[in-house]
Amino acid sequence: MPEINLLINYPQTPRKVEERGMEKTEEDRRMARQFGQEYFDGNRRYGYGGYSYHPRFWQPVVPSFKEYYHLTEDSSVLDIGCAKGFMMYDFDKSIPGIKLKGIDISSYAIAHAMEDMKPFISVGNAKSLPFADQSFDLVICINTVHNLPLDECKQALREIERVGKHAFVTVDAYRTLQEKKRMDAWNLTALTYMSVEEWKKLFAEVGYTGDYYWFIP
């Protein structure tokens, strides 16, 4: 289970963690966890404050996945937590002919997905994937399974392991007490987040053998 940062080329912006922690309320988190219009395209306090496509985000990232997993036009990829299909779109442009599927818990995101991607995405939950064993060469799940309660998070990881020949997940995590305080302040939607070492133990417990990395604000 290698720890590898395949998102190293994703553009980084300064995060005002302490300011965000002072501003966010439990009502904000409740609204965000509905993953509806308010989360994607509503007030910034509930989420993105407007979620639209821009090539600068995923175009630099896709080549890292392509090279690391040796993806070709004959490969198949599942994006869990695909939202509006932005990363899938850039996979399609980078590797023409690649077979893509995406699921997201948000019916709003699916309804407002990129037109080119709509035929390939559907509403779904990571804890129960409607695909056969080993259906995909690669399953990607970025900042998604940690939004589930612990038991469902474990089940989602088992499902990812089941349907993918290879997998890559990222989850909210921390290494130090200071990083935990920053995560507590930053967190908006995650129901399961823990230390890096606790995540590694959980991966072993559920039998997840794929690749992984952390989101640490």
Q: Measured at the alpha carbon of residue 209, what is the angle toward residues 88 and 173, in degrees to the nearest 5?
A: 75
- Residue 202 makes CB contacts below 8 A (sequence gap 6+) with 153, 154, 157, 194
Average pLDDT, the chain: 96
Condensed to tens digits (0 to 9), the pLDDT of residues 15-70 reads: 787 777 778 899 999 999 999 999 999 999 999 999 999 999 999 999 999 999 99
- Percent of residues in the chain assigned helix, strand, coil, to nearest 5: 40, 20, 40
Q: What domains, with CATH codes, occur in the chain?
A: 15-51 (no CATH), 54-215 (3.40.50.150)
Q: What are phi and psi of 169, to 5 degrees?
A: -130, 150
Confidence of residue 1 (pLDDT cuts 50, 70, 90): low
User: Which residue, 120, 63, 49, is CA-closest to 88?
Assistant: 120
The position carrying tokens 């219009």 is 37
153-178: average pLDDT:
98
Confidence of residue 151 (pLDDT cuts 50, 70, 90): very high
* H or E, element range at 177: helix 177-186
